[in-house]
Amino acid sequence: MTTTQGNLASLSRYVVRAPNWYSSVAVALFMAALTGMAAFDSRFLLEDAWEGVFYIGLPTVVASTLTPYVDRKFGGHLSHNGSSLLALTCELVLIAGLTGAAAVAFLTSLGQAFVVDALITALAAVFALRLFVLMAVSRQSLPVASVAASIQTVAAAVLLFVYSGTMRYLEFGGGPITRAFLYRPDEAPARIRQLQYIDPGQFALLATICVLYAGAVWLFLTVVDQPWKRSLGVSVRDFVRGFVGHLAEDTRELETFFEDIGEEAIVPVTVLSVRRPEGSEKARFVLPMLHPGPMGDIGGGNLPRRVAEAADGVAFPPHATAGHDFNLVTEREVETVIDTARTAYQRIEYEDAASQSVRVEHGEAVVTGQAVGDSAVVVNTFSPTCADDVEYAVGLSAATEARTNGLEDVMLVDAHNCNDGLDGDDLGHVVPGSKRSFDLINGAGKVGERLADASRGSLSVGVAWDETDWEPEDGIGPLGIRVAVFEVGGQRTAYVLIDGNNMEPGVRETVIEAIEGVDRAEVMTTDTHVVNTVEAENQVGDAIDVEELGGVVQSVVDDALADVEPVEVGMATETAEVTVFGNDRTEMLASTANAAVSMGAPLAAAIVFASLSVSALIFVLVGL
């Protein structure tokens, strides 16, 4: 992950999951009741609370209830939970505006007219906020989105129209029926009666300011959208709708966006199978040369678990040498990968011979390998120095280098087990041409040379796994901790796989030091992105005690040692045609998104300031 990709991932902390609609409505009514007790002045406190619910809470409830139906009628996507949260947010904007205006009016000579002007401005601001969200989330045009966006403002305006005495200005044709239903200022609370006789011109002013704010919203979205359309050919609103929808509502719309920017790719899928002499599968290592991202279960984010569920034996889906450019764009693509792995599995030819494991340190690369028949498993780590993903091209080159001395297939695993998070300018991405890329390529070549010449002996394998009590919030995914012990000629090598996304610095070394009963061990992570729905960072060892982790790993190693028995082993590779993000598309997406955020904040501030200034000018001109 590069710095710009890390900045994009960190934006997830600003997105909250929308609460259930009834929770938002309950909070809205409670806040309205509190505001009523503070603002109104009747004889009874409960009556004040009821009046607050009526005048402030009722428009919120109306907007919360009607907005999803109106929005979806025009092809929108706003959910009931999202609608209620939006209505509650707008209610808080209205309360804050009125409270601030009342305080200013009390401390100055501006008087009640200023409160009325602030109320008009706050109702227009509510409309603008709702319009912005609906245009971004539902991807609708301005005129269409305005229908649903106006519900909360219109509901509040209707109550003002009926209970503020406005109908007194319209009595030229009115009669008893008109007065009975549309003229009730005497029924308004004492403090609301101070607002009566809001003439129709005020409502025309509200409509005018709403039009002004709608233009400001359109201008903001249009300007921010231009970099996306030029660089990616898509709209920022598609990305926002999918991003927020996934994190706040758990929708799949983000995959549609990724499909639009995706590219076709051919990726190797390597399978190593371990079976008992009678033919039942004991363990299966599956390594698609893909990245399990981008987040949660979107695209290939849950790839390790899906791969594990498709295996007959205990599955080991370690991390491949691929970065975010090789994220699958949709979860459907995972089926293609699983089908390809199944084809490779069916082609495997088994034998009982394997070599002892070897380890080579070349520069910062620490490469561990073990031959199985004419093929080999090779695991690389840069620990104790920090690194993140290894580029696809670097991995292909390293695997090819390892095969130059006669190995048929090489399963090259990125242990992905030491990183210092999203801090700093260099997040450890191993790119072509870097010193680390040559350390890995040369180290893999040396391991391949030693394994090709190494003597073979009978192989015994023991496996075990523990789901653990940890959750994704702790940095551990549903596959927990899995261990495979390979024994050849009295040498025991433990391969530990933890279902997590990288490790805090030093965790690998602490865990390896805790392991007893084996001659060599390596600790790997799956790089699952299930743990990243919690936060952009959530590495193994960040939220859990490392000493406790070492104890759990030792327990699983003990179970694997007790399970060691003679086996047969084989490896095969097939290629899959899938749609991935594409070369440099992740970097382009991250750069565009970060630029939009950097530009959007000051642009939004400038537009808000300009809109409020024009609103103030309008009020001044009207008052002259």
Indicate the average pLDDT of the chain: 83
- Residue 595, domain member (yes or no): no
Q: Is the pLDDT of residue 508 over 60?
A: yes
**Do 107 and 188 sit in the same domain of this protein?**
yes
Minimal CA–CA distance to 411: which of 378, 367, 381?
378
602 prior amide bond cis, ω within 30: no
> With a threshold of 0.85, does the pTM exceed it?
no
Phi, psi of 508, deg, nearest 5? -55, -50
Token pair for residue 4? 């710009």
Token pair for residue 134? 């609906």
**Do 330 and 419 sit in the same domain of this protein?**
yes
**Do 201 and 283 sit in the same domain of this protein?**
no
pLDDT in tens, 259-314: 777 889 999 999 999 999 999 999 999 999 999 877 666 777 788 899 899 999 99
pLDDT at residue 381, as a whole number: 97
pLDDT in tens, 125-155: 999 999 988 887 777 888 999 999 999 999 9
Q: Region 150-166: what's the mean pLDDT?
A: 78
**Do 212 and 268 sit in the same domain of this protein?**
no
pLDDT at residue 190, as a whole number: 46
Looking at 185, 218, 251, which one is the last position of a domain? 218
**Do 166 and 80 sit in the same domain of this protein?**
yes
C-alpha to C-alpha distances, 584 to 95, 326, 392, 517, nearest whole angstrom: 46, 10, 12, 45
pLDDT in tens, 403-427: 998 999 999 999 999 998 655 555 6
Q: Which residues of 365-374 are buried (b: 16+ CB within 10 A; e: fewer)?
A: bbbbbbbbbb
What's the CA gap between 409 and 342, in Å, rounded? 17
- Residue 236, domain member (yes or no): no
Name residue 471's amino acid. Answer: E
Number of domains the chain contains: 2
pLDDT in tens, 561-601: 999 999 999 999 999 999 998 776 666 776 777 667 677 77
- Residue 15, domain member (yes or no): no
Q: Which residues contact 609 (CB under 8 A, 6 or more apart)?
A: none
Looking at 157, 184, 218, which one is the last position of a domain? 218
**Do 267 and 213 sit in the same domain of this protein?**
no
What range does the domain containing 84 cover? 20-218
- Residue 142, domain member (yes or no): yes
- Residue 147, domain member (yes or no): yes
- Residue 9, domain member (yes or no): no
Give the pLDDT band (50/70/90) at residue 534. Answer: low
What's the CA gap between 430 and 445, in Å, rounded? 17
Q: Region 598-611: what's the mean pLDDT?
A: 80
442 against 533, higher pLDDT: 442
**Do 138 and 273 sit in the same domain of this protein?**
no
Token pair for residue 419? 């990183």
pLDDT in tens, 342-365: 999 999 999 999 999 999 999 999
* Dihedral (CA of 300, 306, 310, 311) sign: positive
**Do 203 and 279 sit in the same domain of this protein?**
no
Q: Which residues of 198-233 are buried (b: 16+ CB within 10 A; e: fewer)?
A: beeebbebbbebbebbbebbbebbeebbebbeeebe
Phi, psi of 235, deg, nearest 5? -95, 145
Minimal CA–CA distance to 556: which of 314, 271, 272?
314
pLDDT at residue 273, as a whole number: 97
Q: Is the pLDDT of residue 29 over 80?
A: yes
Helix axes 3-10, 585-623, angle to 10 degrees: 50
**Do 26 and 119 sit in the same domain of this protein?**
yes
**Do 327 and 214 sit in the same domain of this protein?**
no
- Residue 157, domain member (yes or no): yes
* Proportion of the chain above pLDDT 90, given as a percent: 46
**Do 179 and 54 sit in the same domain of this protein?**
yes
pLDDT at residue 491, as a whole number: 97
> By three-state DSSP, how is residue 475 classified?
coil
**Do 402 and 467 sit in the same domain of this protein?**
yes
Q: Is the pLDDT of residue 51 over 90?
A: no
> End-to-end CA distance of the chain, in Å?
60
pLDDT at residue 9, as a whole number: 53
- Residue 184, domain member (yes or no): yes
pLDDT at residue 203, as a whole number: 80
